[in-house]
Amino acid sequence: MEIVKNTVVTLKYTVLDPDGNTIDDGHQPLVYLHGGYDGIFPMLEEALHGKKVGDQLKVKLQPEDAFGDYDEELVLVEDVSQFPENIEVGMSFERVTDDGEEDMLYRITDIADGKVVVDGNHPLAGTALVFDITVTEVRKATAEELSHGHVHGAGGHHH
């Protein structure tokens, strides 16, 4: 069966940075609903369209096609008094706007001299990614998967 819209695709994969360092060893297979359901990066989905079980491919995504370019303006320095006492480098939190809306996810990258450095960039922002992929299964999506817009069962979403 060919990968087309409304198929469930299972991939064996690894993700490397351009220097060959492992970003994701693909320990668990990637299972997604094909056809614009935002289960994987659009450029990756486009490269997989029409492929069949056993097909192998390498796809390099530039930062703008993956987690975006690194944006220095998303790095903020805040007074430590604005945070709970038990914060640590590496913790993440959602910033809440003045009207109570959750704005975006930030990571604490440094704490020093009464200041906290927070970064709203994805940890892989600014990094090109190289996907090494093997298609291991393709099946028709169920009516329930299509109505929910994601895969159910093994490797997928569970309600």
The CATH number of 72-119 is which of 3.40.50.1260, 1.10.150.120, 1.10.540.10, 2.40.10.330?
Answer: 2.40.10.330
> So where are the chain's domains?
7-67+125-148, 72-119
CB 10 within 8 A of CB 48: no
Secondary structure E strands in 67-158: 75-79, 92-96, 102-112, 115-119, 129-140
CATH of domain 7-67+125-148: 3.10.50.40
Helices (H) and strands (E) counted in the chain, each on its own, are 2, 9
Sequence letter at residue 96: V
Contacts with 18 (C-beta within 8 Å, 6 or more apart), sequence order: 60, 127, 128, 130
Amino acid 102: pLDDT: 67
Residue 85 Cα distances to 81, 111, 117, 120, angstroms = 8, 12, 15, 21
Amino acid 158: pLDDT: 47
Amino acid 152: pLDDT: 87
Among 44-48, 88-92, 97-101, 150-154, whose mean pLDDT is lowest? 97-101
pLDDT at 131 over 90: yes
**pTM tops 0.85, yes or no:** no
